[in-house]
A and B are shown apart, each in its own frame.
Chain A
Amino acid sequence: MNEIVNNIQTVPRRSTSQWLFNPFSFVAGYQALLLGLGIMLISAFFGFLGNTHFDGVLDVHKGLEAPLRFFFTEGIIDWLTIAIPLFFFGLVVSNSSVRMIDVFGTQALARWPYIVISIVMLPEANQRVGVYLVAKFGFAAAPAAINYMDIFIFGFAIIVGIFMAVWMVALMYKAYVVSCNIKGARAIVTFIVSLIGAEVLSKMLILLLFERL
Chain B
Amino acid sequence: MKLLPTVCPACNSQLKAKSLTCAHCNTEIQGEYELPVLTRLLPEDQSFILEFIKSSGSLKEMARLLRLSYPTVRNRLDEIIERLKKTESPKENNGKENL
Contact = CB atoms under 8 A, between A and B. Distances in A.
Given A1-B65, A4-B51, A5-B66, A11 B71 contact: no
A8 B48 contact: yes
B70 A8 contact: no
A9 interface: yes
Contacts of A181: 71, 74-75, 78
B14 interface: no
Which among A4, A8, A26 has the highest number of chain B CB atoms within 10 Å?
A: A8
Contacts of A97: 74
Contact of A14 (B47, B65, B67): B67
Contacts of B71: 24, 28, 99, 102, 106, 178-181
Interface string A157-169: 0000000000000
B69 A28 contact: yes
Contacts of B44: 7-10
A25 B47 contact: no
Nearest to A101: B70
Contact of A5 (B67, B70, B78): B67
Nearest to B69: A28
A5 B64 CA distance: 11
B74 A29 contact: no
Given A4-B51, A8-B44, A97-B74, A25 B68 contact: yes
B75 A11 contact: no
Nearest to B72: A25
B76 interface: yes
Contacts of A7: 44, 47, 51
Contacts of A11: 66, 68, 76
Contacts, number: 66
Interface string A20-49: 000011111100100000000000000000
Interface string B55-93: 000000000011111111011101000000000000000
Contact of B47 (A8, A24, A29, A178): A8
Nearest to B48: A8
A147 interface: no
A95 interface: yes
Given A7-B47, A9-B44, A181-B74, A24 B69 contact: yes
Contacts of A9: 43-44, 47
Given A5-B66, A8-B44, A9-B47, 16 more contacts: A4-B47, A5-B67, A8-B51, A8-B66, A10-B44, A14-B67, A24-B72, A26-B69, A26-B72, A28-B71, A29-B70, A99-B70, A178-B75, A179-B71, A181-B71, A181-B75
Interface of B: 43-44, 47-48, 51, 65-72, 74-76, 78
13 contacts: A4-B65, A8-B44, A8-B47, A8-B66, A11-B68, A14-B67, A25-B69, A26-B69, A29-B69, A99-B70, A102-B69, A178-B75, A181-B74
